[in-house]
Copies of this chain bind each other. A is one copy, B any other.
């Protein structure tokens, strides 16, 4: 994920865009709110406005570099779009997020959609609860 990826997406290579990509790649956690990213940037010594963070994340999403999810809690969360889809398990206690992928579920979704004459273009599956060790 480098400057070429930005150019390929039709985006100029600017300092905010590079730094935000860096943050997303190097952070401990995969899923961040816009404000998380904003604060990580500050901690890294970069004074990038929150509006810019939102703008850039939205552009990255449009370019397919980033995915946006709406978990409970109001704030959208963003993650680098690796290749391959996955779904999420979210702790209502700590906010911890674990990813999973289940081909049986994916297949059933396709079948159900078809049975209803529905052309499914996307879906969200989120499990809420808590991890036994927290």
Contacts and interface: CB of A to CB of B under 8 A. Distances in A.
Interface of A: 70, 72, 89, 91-92, 98, 100, 102, 104-105, 108-109, 112-113, 116-133
A104 B108 contact: yes
B119 A132 contact: yes
- What's the number of copies of this chain in the assembled complex? 2
Contacts of A100: 112, 116
B120 A127 contact: yes
Contact of A89 (B89, B91, B118, B125): B118
20 contacts: A89-B112, A92-B121, A104-B104, A105-B105, A112-B127, A113-B129, A116-B131, A117-B132, A117-B133, A119-B129, A119-B131, A120-B128, A120-B129, A121-B129, A122-B127, A122-B128, A123-B128, A124-B124, A124-B126, A125-B125
